[in-house]
Amino acid sequence: MTAPLLAAQGVCHRFGELAALEDVEAAVAPGELCVVVGPNGAGKTTLLRVLAGLLRPDHGSVRLRGSPLDSLSRREIARSVAVAAQEPSLPFPYTVAEVVGMGRAPFLGPFGRESGADREIVLEALARTGLALLSERRFPTLSSGERQRVILARAFAQTPCVMLLDEPTAHMDLGHRVKTFEDLRAWVAGSPGDRAALVVTHDLILAARYADRMTLLDRGRCVSHGTPREVLDPARIAEVYGVEVSVLDDEEGRPVLVAHRSRIAYTPRPDGSDR
């Protein structure tokens, strides 16, 4: 494997009594679309925040192109790593173009004066996400699916080498979900060949289809790691998610996950879990 662009090693983090991450590894190499999956509360978002340098883990290290994240300023990190997180609803009436333009922030001077080149990049990001016609709309007036596309466009406008995306398709319709994964695939494959994306998602079906590599987290631990076919073992999915699944093949030989029935019972078991 080529040297990873962004890598976390031996990450442990606790929130009080709760162990959110225990000895977790995660890395993205150039050209890779890596997906992190796991049930609610598995530690996916915590891992993403650690990778983004927003949360300093109790143990372990995160390196961006070999340099520890601790040694870099927020601005230096932001020039290489774009994060699209689950955004709260914003009360201020920025236009779509203004929000996407904020992706250029790490490259601007203190007064935020954009150059012609910056504006080009923003227009391209708007076009790439199909937002060109919405660019003058006020962000708060958009639907939640449209807002997610705006946040994604902002990440594209940041021209990063690594994108960290937290449930980027959660509010999107099926068409836009598939389109978003296709666009991410195209983006990591595009020039100049040093791009990678890490996506946290609940959508195992799309993840199975589009991910190069997959990490399955459960209760703060990395349960499995590998290609989607390796990770999506029906027995393991039943164990972690409490659902019976089959993994089939589509006409191109990619794995297709089919869910049959839930095993979750809302009656407490002796070990306190519900599955």
Partner 1 sequence: MSRLPTLLALAGLLAAAAVLGLAFGSAESPTREIVLEIRLPRVVLGMLVGAGLATAGALLQALLQNPLADPFLLGISGGAALGGVAAVALGGGALLGLSVPALAFAGALGATALLYAIAAAGGRAPAHSLLLTGVVFNAFASSVIVFLTTAVELNRVAGVFLWLIGSIRLVDDAMIACVAALIGLGLGVGLYYAYSLNLLTQGDEAAAHLGVDVPRVRRHVLLATALMIGASVAVSGIVGFVGLIVPHLLRLVVGADHRVLIPASALFGAALVTSADTLARTVLAPTELPVGAFTALIGGPLFLWLLRRELSR
User: Degrees (nearest 5) of the Cα angle 219, 58, 272?
Assistant: 25
Candidates 154, 160, 143, 152; CA nearest to 181 is: 152
* Rounded Cα gap, residues 124 and 162, in angstroms: 18
Q: Which is nearer to partner 1, 4 or 106 (CB)?
A: 106
Q: Looking at 12, 108, 132, 247, which residue binds partner 1 (CB under 8 A)?
A: 108
The least CB distance from residue 54 to partner 1, in Å, is 6
Q: Give the total of residues touching partner 1 (CB under 8 A).
A: 33
CB of 129 closer than 8 Å to CB of 184: no
Q: Looking at 10, 68, 112, 190, which residue binds partner 1 (CB under 8 A)?
A: 112
Which one of 15-23, 106-114, 171-179, 254-262 is the stretch in contact with partner 1 (CB under 8 A)? Answer: 106-114
Q: Which is nearer to partner 1, 144 or 227 (CB)?
A: 144
- Contacts of residues 176-182 at CB distance under 8 Å and 24 or more positions apart, as own/partner, are 176/145, 176/149, 177/203, 177/206, 178/206, 179/130, 180/149, 180/152, 181/206, 181/209, 181/210, 182/210
- The CB-side HSE value for 237 (13 A sphere, CA atoms) comes to 23
Question: DSSP per residue over 218-231, as a string?
Answer: ETTEEEEEESHHHH
The least CB distance from residue 102 to partner 1, in Å, is 6
- Window 200-229: residues binding partner 1 (CB under 8 A): none
Q: Does 143 bind partner 1 (CB under 8 A)?
A: no
Q: Which is nearer to partner 1, 91 or 270 (CB)?
A: 91
The least CB distance from residue 98 to partner 1, in Å, is 6
106: which 2 tokens?
A: 């790490």
Site track for partner 1 across 34-63, x = CB under 8 A: ---------------x--x-x---------
Q: Which residues bind partner 1 (CB under 8 A)?
A: 49, 52, 54, 73-79, 81-83, 85, 87-88, 90-95, 98-99, 102-103, 105-106, 108, 110-112, 158
